Amino acid sequence: MTATTPVLVARELTRAAGGPARELPAALDGIGLEDAATVAVAELVARCGVPINTDEASIGVSVAHRGERVDHVLRLVRGGSVRAERSAEQAPCRLVFELADLVVALYGSQPSPPVGTHRFERLDDWFMTNGDPADPFRIIESYMKAMTTVLAAVSTAGRELNALAAKHVADKWGLWHWFTPHYDRHFERLRAEPVRVLEIGIGGYGDPDVGGGSLRVWRDYFPRGHVFGIDYFAKNGLDEERITTIQGSQDDSEFLRALAAEHGPFDIVIDDGSHINGHILTTFRELFPHVRNGGLYVVEDLWTAYAPGYGGQATSSAGEGTSIGLLKSVVDALHYEEWTSPDEGADAPSYAASTVGLHVYRNIAFLEKGVNAEGRIPSFAPRTVDYY
C-alpha cells in the first residue's frame, strides 16, 4: 500500500484481520511493520481503561514480524490516561506480540484466546531493588494492576475475574501467574450457584489480619457462595459473613478429615498452600473424596515438582511423589476400565472411578469429579491390528 495515514492503516489492518489466516502475513508485509505496529499500539492504548495502579508503572510492548520488531513503553499513572512512547528501554515487564497475533486480537471478529497470544518478560531484580522496604509488596501490586489494564485491552478472556484479582491483589493474575482466565473457563458455569469453595493457603504468614486476597476474589465471583480458607497460621481477622478461615496444616490427615466432615462436601477445592509436593499429595488424598460430583479440584504452582527444595525432582520429567507425577497417574486412572493387566483394574487408585476429566495448563491443573464408569470398549472391537 502506498498511503500510510493511520486511518488507512487501521482500515487495512481490520480488513486483514477479518480475512483468511493464511493471507494475513502477506497482507501485513504490504502494510509494513513500522506503520502497522504504530497503529496497533495506538489502538491498544485507546482501549485501555483508566489505570488503578498505586505507583506509576512502565510496561514495554514489542511488536515483531519477520524477525524484526518495534518497541514501545506504556506509562500508566493512576487516574490518568495510558501514554505510549517509542522506546526500547528495559521496562520491568514487557509484552512481546507477533504482529499477526496482535492484529487478530485487536481487529479480529473472534474473541482472543486466554493464553498463547504473547511472550512475557520480567526483570525480577528490578522488583527486588526498587520496592519500598517499608511496603515491599506495593510495587508488585502496582504492576499487577497495570498489567491487568493493558491486557484487558487485547482480550476479553476472564476479564472480570482478572479485574477482581487485581482489585484484591491476588497473585493469580498479572505478574507472576496467569491463572484467572483458566479459572473463569472452568468456574463460570457455577457462578450463580450457592457453592462451597475451599482454598488451602491464605497468605500473609503470621499476621492474622493480612492476606485473604484470593478468598475475597471468590467471595465476589460467586455472589451466593461461601468461601473457606485454611492456613498454617491463624487468620481469624479475615473472617466475615461469607468467608470462614480455619487454622491447620494441609499435611495433617486427621485435621483434613475433620474439616471435610464439618464443612464439606465442597464444590471446589483449590490447593494454593505450601506447594510442598508431599503436602499436595496428602491434601489430594484426603480432600478429593469430599468434592461433590460435578465439582472441581485445583492444584496450583506445579513448578515445585521440579524444585528439590519443595520435595520435587531436579529433572525434566518429574515422577512419583510430585504433583506432576500425580497428574500423570491421573491420566492412567481415567482409563482404568481399559487396562489390560491380568488384574484388570484391581490396582486402580481410589480416585479412578470418580475422576472424569483433567485439564493441565502452565503451573495449574483442574480435575473434574464425577462417575467414571462408562464401560470398556466392546469386546468385539479388535485388540490387535491385522490390516497392515
Strands (E), 41-82: 57-65, 68-76
Spot the catalytic one: 65, 118, 275, 279. Answer: 275
65 counts as catalytic: no
DSSP state of 202: -
Phi, psi of 17 (to 5 degrees): -65, -25
DSSP string of 298-366, one letter each residue:
EEE-GGGGG-GGGT--SSSS--TTSHHHHHHHHHHHHTGGG--STTSSTT--TTGGGEEEEEEETTEEE
Q: Which domains does the chain have, with CATH numbers?
A: 1-157 (3.30.1050.30), 170-387 (3.40.50.150)
At 196, which helix (H) or strand (E)? strand 196-200
User: Tens-of-pLDDT digits for all 388 residues of the chain?
Assistant: 455 799 999 999 999 999 999 999 999 999 999 999 999 999 999 999 999 999 999 999 999 999 999 999 999 999 999 999 999 899 999 999 999 999 999 999 887 777 788 999 999 999 989 888 888 889 999 999 999 999 999 988 888 999 999 999 999 998 889 999 999 999 999 999 999 999 999 999 899 999 999 999 999 999 999 999 999 999 999 999 999 999 999 999 999 999 999 999 999 999 999 999 999 999 999 999 999 999 999 999 999 999 999 999 999 999 999 999 999 999 999 999 999 877 665 689 999 999 999 999 999 999 999 999 999 999 888 888 888 7
- Cβ atoms of 39 and 6 closer than 8 Å: yes
Cα(215)–Cα(336) distance, integer angstroms: 36
Which residues are registered as beta bridge partners of 335? none
The SS3 assignment for 295 reads: strand
Per the CB < 8 A criterion, the answer to whether 235 and 204 are in contact is yes
CB contact at 8 A, 136 and 55: no
